[in-house]
Structure 1
Amino acid sequence: MRHLSRKKYTNQMEITIRKATLKDIPSLLKLWTKLMEFHRTLSSHFELADDAETVWEFYVRKQLDEPNFLLIVAEVNGNIIGFSLASIQANIPVFKIKKYGVIYDFFVDEAFRKRGIGRKIFDFAREWFEQKGVEHLQVSAAHHNPIAQGFWHAMGFTNYLDRLAREI
């Protein structure tokens, strides 16, 4: 498999998109926390457990070398400013599509948005999925997050399922 890492220079910014390493996890945890803090403003469904950061870090460290797990880092001038977490999942056996890719977390620091970095992260993930033989991707975007929904539609995603929730 071809080594995945890309560098591009845009307006004096050196943008690098690559697979994460263990040493990236502290910086990624800070970005993940920002992502979760934003989502908490959208819905109480995003309320985190007290140990959420510890659990996320443990999960990522455990999964990092798994062949069906991908953690992507976006760097600008050597500073981590974005990331994505994705994996390959087996589908329920009654469906024709046997496996699919899922993008779980996706974040670009607000100061670096609207510069094509999100597209570069997605392109990196898409290429990884293609190399793994995955032909179908899924992503969830919060209902009250039209910016994320617009981004994913621009990446070619279409709506096919609405997730509803209620308290009991």
Structure 2
Amino acid sequence: MRRRLLSKRSTMCTSSMSIISPPATNVELRLANEKDLPAIADLWIEMMREHEAFEPRLRITPHAVYAYHSYLMLHVRGPKSVVVVMEDGGTIIGFCCAYVCQNLPMFLPAEFGYVSDIYVCPAYQHQGVGERLMRYIRQFFKGCGVQSVQLQVYRHNPKGQAFWKKQGFENFFDRMWLDLGQADHSE
């Protein structure tokens, strides 16, 4: 299955995309497969719990893990999407889900890369694991002909903000929130 997935990927974008060789550690990067989805969904829940701690407006449903599993399935199988994992001794310790988005028809570029989710277990943070995931994602997007990448990061997530800035990202626009249950400010 994994061999078939790798060859399928190479024909969808370009075959110049190769899995980055790991440094002298047990941590390895590889494409995710369907068997990985429960472990990735569990890591996603862990990430969401961390996010809920600093952003109380973020609330996930009781069935979020199942919904995210289905979401991942689309991206493991998608022609212009990728899910990669980092493994240490057979245990998934990080992942990234990314895909090519169609821009609105009145804007250029016509397509851009979008990083949906990235997470590295706390014990492996600040060891280059996230950077390795992003190097692969950049190569994937380049192979798809994408010239720019977008993502969202919570304003009250200073670790996330710092990571993305270190990766070369810059602020582009602000996404705003209005709780309609609060006082009406339209008058």
TM-score bracket, shorter-length normalisation? over 0.9
The structure that is strand-richer by fraction is 1
Which of 136, 139, 153 in structure 2 is aligned with 1:141? 153
Gaps of 5+ in 1: none
**Alpha-carbon contact 1:4-1:18 (below 8 Å) kept:** no
Cα deviations by residue, 1:121-160 (Å, 9 ceiling, x for unpaired): 0000000000000001001111100111011011111111
Please name the residue that 1:6 is paired with: 20
Structure 1 position 45, deviation (Å): 2.7
Q: 1:63 to 1:114 in 2, by over 3 A?
A: closer
Q: What's the counterpart of residue 53 of structure 1?
A: 65
Moved more, 42-51 or 153-162: 42-51
Give 2:185's aligned residue: none
Which runs of structure 1 show a deviation greater than 4 angstroms over 4 or more consecutive aligned residues? none
Q: CA deviation at 1:165?
A: 0.4
Aligned match for 1:88, one of 100, 108, 111 = 100
Distance, in Å, in 1 between the alignment partners of 2:74 and 2:149 is 23
CA distance, structure 2, for counterparts of residue 137 and residue 119 of structure 1:
15
Q: CA deviation at 1:60?
A: 1.4
Between stretches 63-72 and 86-95, larger displacement belongs to: 63-72
Q: What is the match of residue 98 of structure 1?
A: 110
- What is the aligned counterpart of 2:134 among 92, 115, 122? 122
RMSD (CA atoms): 1.3
What is the aligned-residue identity percentage?
27
TM-score when normalising by structure 1: 0.93
Q: Deviations over 1:82-102 (max 9, x none)?
A: 001111000011112111001
Q: 1:74 aligns with which of 59, 70, 86?
A: 86
